[in-house]
Amino acid sequence: MKNITIKGATIPALGFGTFQLNPSEATHMVEAAINAGYLHIDTAQMYQNEEAVGKGIKASGVSRDKVFLTTKVLPSNLGKQSFLPSVEQSLKKLDTDYVDLLLIHWPNADVPLEEYIGELIKAQEKGYTKHIGVSNHPIKLVEQALATGANLITNQVEYHPLLDQSKLYDYLRSKDITLTAYSPIAQGEIIGNETLKAIGEKYGKNEIQVALNWLIQQENVLAIPRSSKEKNMQANIDIFDFELTPEEVAQINQLREQNLRVVNPGFAPQWD
């Protein structure tokens, strides 16, 4: 497993996503994923499976300090009154004293950024989280967050071979902030992609393995694929034994022109 070190945090470059995993799937798959070598788990208040994720971590038998655990604060919990109580609830559900990373899941137009970033910093000061970051924050909002003095280590955004994120990525790199690629399989949309398949043939890898390898070979990029199936979860971590050539990377880079965004709810901010 490749690790990324950023501002005092060491994060496994490949994590396991848990969106849409129901509680029994979440417990089973988190346990199996940790035992397969995923030591980075991503959940959120929104996914309503924090309790199940916590059970999966316990069931794995791997000690809590060996797992990099992320959760995210729901947009409706960003106000001063609900922010910290909601994080306390998350810790209770996850059955842990701290998370490794606490993220703002989405900006909320009804809560000033300075207010919720202030609460995020308080959560860190209280020891509820080791590190802080944001998700779904375009450059303008990241700039505003940094102006408050917040020591952000990541911006978790959609990123895969079919979506160009170069503008945001270049900005984040200039600020020493990692990019955590969510929906790295474009929720299935990259399956069957001929370019990725052809490249994979040479290495005995499928198109998803090529896409994940392409993501994590980029400096300061992490990826958090999700699967409800052990076989797929195992395949998705079997990506560390090959290296794409510069020509292959360039070929995949061209796919980004499709600009396919699979996560774009009505409340999304103006993307870069």
Ligand X SMILES: NC(=O)c1ccc[n+]([C@@H]2O[C@H](COP(=O)([O-])OP(=O)(O)OC[C@H]3O[C@@H](n4cnc5c(N)ncnc54)[C@H](OP(=O)(O)O)[C@@H]3O)[C@@H](O)[C@H]2O)c1
* Footprint on this chain of ligand X (rule: CB under 6 A): 17-19, 42, 105, 135-136, 156, 182-188, 191, 208, 224-229, 232, 235-236, 263
CB-nearer residue toward ligand X: 157 or 244: 157
The least CB distance from residue 247 to ligand X, in Å, is 25
CB-nearer residue toward ligand X: 105 or 150: 105
What single string gives the DSSP state of each residue in 42-66?
E--GGGT-HHHHHHHHHHHT--GGG
Which segments of 1-98 are extended strands (E)?
3-6, 9-12, 16-17, 40-42, 68-73
CB-nearer residue toward ligand X: 83 or 125: 83
CB-nearer residue toward ligand X: 8 or 265: 265
Residue 62's Cβ-count burial label (10 Å; 0-12, 13-18, 19+) is: middle
Comparing every residue's Cβ against ligand X, the nearest one is 17
Neighbours of 204 (CB within 10 A): 10
CB-nearer residue toward ligand X: 238 or 247: 238
C-alpha distance from residue 127 to each of 16, 105, 107, 180 (Å): 24, 19, 23, 23
List the structure tokens of 237. 């971590």
In the three-class reduction of DSSP (H, G, I as helix; E, B as strand; rest coil), residue 84 is classed as helix
The least CB distance from residue 226 to ligand X, in Å, is 3
The least CB distance from residue 29 to ligand X, in Å, is 9
What gap in Å lies between CA 65 and CA 196, rounded to an integer? Answer: 36
The least CB distance from residue 186 to ligand X, in Å, is 6
The least CB distance from residue 224 to ligand X, in Å, is 5
The least CB distance from residue 95 to ligand X, in Å, is 19
CB-nearer residue toward ligand X: 218 or 232: 232
Please tell me which residue in 38, 47, 128, 169 is annotated as part of the active site. Answer: 47
Q: Which residue, among 153, 66, 139, has the nearest Cα to 102 in the 3D structure? A: 153
In the three-class reduction of DSSP (H, G, I as helix; E, B as strand; rest coil), residue 101 is classed as strand
Residue 66's φ and ψ, nearest 5 degrees, are -90, -10
List the structure tokens of 40. 């980075």
Decide if 47 is catalytic.
Answer: yes
What single string gives the DSSP state of each residue in 103-168?
EE-S--TTS-HHHHHHHHHHHHHTTSEEEEEEES--HHHHHHHHHTT--EEEEEEE-STTS--HHH
Residues labelled catalytic: 47
